[in-house]
């Protein structure tokens, strides 16, 4: 899956499920959109569905550093690359 395809999917999830309005790729999720830890857990579940496999505990812990949509995209690309 290309980064653009990932971006489209993530933006759709953030807009449809988390009611983001005009999200920017470098917006701070917490400060700009009120994203909290419960939202993060829910998003990880949606990422697992998107990828078609469960994330390991270690992979989930690495998500703690995510602050922007670009961070989400980098995170997913690293997981996909590590699973090849």
Element (H, E) at 75: helix 69-82
Percentage, residues of the chain above pLDDT 90? 96
Residue 59: enclosing H or E segment and its boundaries?
Answer: helix 57-62
Query: For residues 75 and 62, is the Cβ–Cβ distance under 8 A?
Result: yes
In order along its 84 residues, the chain shows pLDDT tens digits of 899 999 999 999 999 999 999 999 999 999 999 999 999 999 999 999 999 999 999 999 999 999 999 999 999 999 999 987
Q: Give the CATH number, domain containing residue 39.
A: 1.10.1200.10
What domain count does the chain have? 1
Range of the domain at 28: 3-82
Give residue-wise pLDDT tens across range 47-70: 999 999 999 999 999 999 999 999
Distance of alpha carbon 18 from the chain centroid:
12
CA angle 8, 3, 54 (to 5 degrees): 85
């Amino acid at each position: 899956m290309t980064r653009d395809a990932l971006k489209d999917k993530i933006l759709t999830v953030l807009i449809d499920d988390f009611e983001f309005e005009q999200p920017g790729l470098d917006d701070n999720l917490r400060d700009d959109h009120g994203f909290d830890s419960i939202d993060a857990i829910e998003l990880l579940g949606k990422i697992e569905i998107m990828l078609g496999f469960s994330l390991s505990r270690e992979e989930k812990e690495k998500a703690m550093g995510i602050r922007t949509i670009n961070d989400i995209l980098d995170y997913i690309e690293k997981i996909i690359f590590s699973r090849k």
